[in-house]
Amino acid sequence: MAVNTNSRMHAGNGLEGISIGPSEICFVDGENGQLIYRGHDAEVLVREHTFDEVAFLLWTGHLPSVDETNELREIVFDNMRKVAAEPATVATLDPNALTMDAVRSAMSVWSMGRKLAEGGTPADAQAALGAIAGSVALLGARRAGVTPGDIQPGDTIARAYLRIMTGAEPTDAQVGALDAYLVLTAEHGMNASTFTGRVIVSTASDIGSGLVGSIGALKGKLHGGAPSHVSSMIDEIGTADNAEPWLRAKIEGGERLMGFGHRVYKTYDPRARALGEVAERLGSDDERLGLARHVEQTALRLLHEYKPDQRLYTNVEYYAAAVLETIELDPGLYTPTFAVSRTAGWTAHMLEQINYPRLIRPQVEYVGPMPEK
């Protein structure tokens, strides 16, 4: 077996530790447990700003004025309504299909009907957010068998999303919980789905193509599906007394505990901390939340006992599950809702990629056979 010695750098498995270039959008400080969006601490943003405002920040680098927020909502809501009104788009949302397949197909149909610029524009990004939010909300309404609600004056994106999905007026608590989730999951650096989107637009493709690729990456179980698995884990454990034996059996069996450990964070995930606070404030099911807290503390103790050399802490998916349960969201829509929030970050990176107009084309180390001389 020969090795191609022309390879410049061996990135190792998963490109870990390799930078593809500079970015002004997000800093994930895994050592200190901090998440920064455009110079703003995400834990501060979630307390003081809506998802609408944070999406604008990610796209432009500054928080919007009232007029800019209203203009953003007008574009987003217009596309949410268009998705619900276009039969071709709605037809792709088969309620019996895998939800991420339906969402990916819906975005492909949406982009086919729109003249999107190479690389994309801020208007394309805002329209794309409306299209995916409308698609997922409509899919939720179809799965629940309800008539989709209508967007009302003064709605935020979170309120409009829940209104379409449930056909009812959401409570302020539900809107606040969803808004917090959307803010905290909007962006997270060069993760797999973001990298996918940037690679696609680096070819001079468009935001629609980038989003279809990013959605496909997020569909994978190693990336976007963990909150639903956390809910299933809590269901299986059932009682506080069963937590330790159940968790010990999983760890000793070599299985992963969902909601714990992260590729980047080597301390408590700041998004988990913020969502845990949201879950505490909601407190709609104190017994369920109490069980989740007990399971978390037991899991952290056992992970330290069994794997003292590994820095395994609670990650965002753990309390994302608690918050999404409180909103009464269909578990099948957890990952699609994640895709809605992450569309803000994905498209911000796609827009940034325009500033570096060079095709992303890494090397690979060839280790196959060479022809005989």
Give the Cα separation of 214 and 348 in Å (integer): 13
215 CB burial (10 A radius; 0-12, 13-18, 19+)? buried
Three-state SS annotation for 235-274: HHHCCHHHHHHHHHHHHHCCCCCCCECCCCCCCCCHHHHH
With a cut of 60, say whether residue 47 has pLDDT above it: yes
Hey, what are 182's tokens? Answer: 């959307």
Angle at 88 (CA atoms; ends 346, 142), nearest 5 degrees = 80
Distance from CA of residue 312 to its chain's centroid?
Answer: 21
Taking only Cα atoms into account, the Rg of the chain, rounded to an integer number of angstroms, comes to 21
* Cβ contact 182:158 at 8 Å: yes
For 306-334, the pLDDT digits (tens) are 999 888 888 888 888 888 888 889 988 99
Residue 254 belongs to domain spanning: 226-326
The tally of domains found in the chain comes to 2
pLDDT mean over 211-219: 96
Higher-confidence residue: 228 or 362?
362
In a domain, 371, yes or no: no
Kindly state whether residues 135 and 123 are assigned to the same domain. Answer: yes
Give the pLDDT band (50/70/90) at residue 221. Answer: confident
Instruction: Write out pLDDT tens, residues 237-280.
Output: 999 999 999 999 999 999 988 888 877 767 888 888 888 888 87
What average pLDDT is seen over the chain?
Answer: 88
Sequential DSSP letters for 24-60: SSEEEETTTTEEEETTEEHHHHHHH--HHHHHHHHHH
Q: Do residues 119 and 257 both lie within one domain?
A: no
Do 131 and 237 belong together in one domain? no
Query: Are residues 279 and 166 part of one domain?
Result: no
170 lies in the same domain as 307: no
CA dist 91 and 95 (Å) reads: 10
User: What's phi and psi for 40, nearest 5 deg?
Assistant: -115, 135
Is the CB of residue 275 less than 8 Å from the CB of residue 319? yes
Residue 50 one-letter amino acid:
T
Residue 242 lies in a domain: yes
Q: Would you say how long the chain is, in residues?
A: 373
CA distance 296 to 179: 24
Question: Domain holding 171: CATH number?
Answer: 1.10.580.10
User: Both 178 and 236 in a single domain?
Assistant: no
Residue 8 within a domain:
no
Q: Are residues 93 and 112 in the same domain?
A: yes
- Residues labelled catalytic: 262, 317
Residue 370 within any structural domain of the chain: no
167 found inside a domain: yes
Phi, psi (rounded to 5 degrees) for 139:
-60, -40
The pLDDT assigned to 92 comes to 66
**How many CB atoms are closer than 10 A to CB 51?**
27
Check whether residue 233 and residue 110 sit in a common domain. Answer: no
Assess whether pLDDT exceeds 60 at residue 9. Answer: no
Domain-located, residue 20: no
Do 184 and 315 sit in the same domain of this protein?
Answer: no
Residues 6+ positions from 45 with CB-CB distance below 8 Å: 37, 54, 57, 183
Residue 181 lies in a domain: yes
- Cβ(338)–Cβ(218) under 8 Å? yes
